Amino acid sequence: MLLDDTQRFRSGKAAMLIQSRRVVAFLRDNALVPWDVAPLPVGSIPANVSHSDGLGIWSGSPRKDGAWKFLEFAMGEEGQKILAESGRTVPSMTRVAESDAFLKGGSAASLLGYAQSPRNASIYLDNIGISRPLPSTSTWPSAVWEMDRAFKKAFYDDGDVETAIASVIEKTTFSSETSNDLFQMASPTRIPGTED
């Protein structure tokens, strides 16, 4: 059975997992080895990606007032604190992001003198300033799926990176113009020393 990246890491069969904050809750409950987070290595321009979770109200909901009250609660300080303690999200309220609820995994953990993993949760906050948006195009989700599938096969199965690259190029619908636009969206800062 081919394990996915998270399962491989949780069982100690991979030394590193590149993932967003969303795996924290799973790893807290299921990791078989001690773990923590660290910043990604950087080149000449530090950059990272920040995923986000959104809440919305269905336009056809018969209970819009109740849904709106829930949204107000979830986006307020108490709701964000609960979400932060769950491990899944990075709070948008600075006060909550800098609290024990986020940095230590909860106020109860802090009172008892310990912190839940990740002990270096501030890494998520440190990376906000270098985060870039992912492209927002209709073809982006299928391109990500193709890249994920092709490179996992190369990494875990046959080691054929050249075939993985060719497969992604063949199965995605990016033209050279689209590729340049996507590069600019993902990396808006020009690399020092390069010409336009």
Helix 161-171 × helix 140-153 angle, to 10°: 160
Tell me: the pLDDT tens digits for 87-126? 888 999 999 999 989 998 876 655 566 678 898 999 999 9
Domain ranges of the chain: 5-51+63-132, 140-186
Q: Give the whole-angstrom CA distance, residue 45 versus residue 182.
A: 17
What is the CA angle 18-21-27, rounded to 5?
80
Model pTM above 0.75: no
Tell me: the pLDDT tens digits for 48-94? 887 777 889 999 999 999 999 999 999 999 999 998 988 888 999 99
Q: How many CA atoms lie within 13 A of 117 on its CB side?
A: 17
Alpha-carbon dihedral sign for residues 102, 104, 109, 113: negative
What count of other Cβ atoms lies within 10 Å of the Cβ of residue 99? 20
Residue-level pLDDT at 75:
92
Q: Return the closest-CA partner of residue 76 out of 48, 96, 51.
A: 96
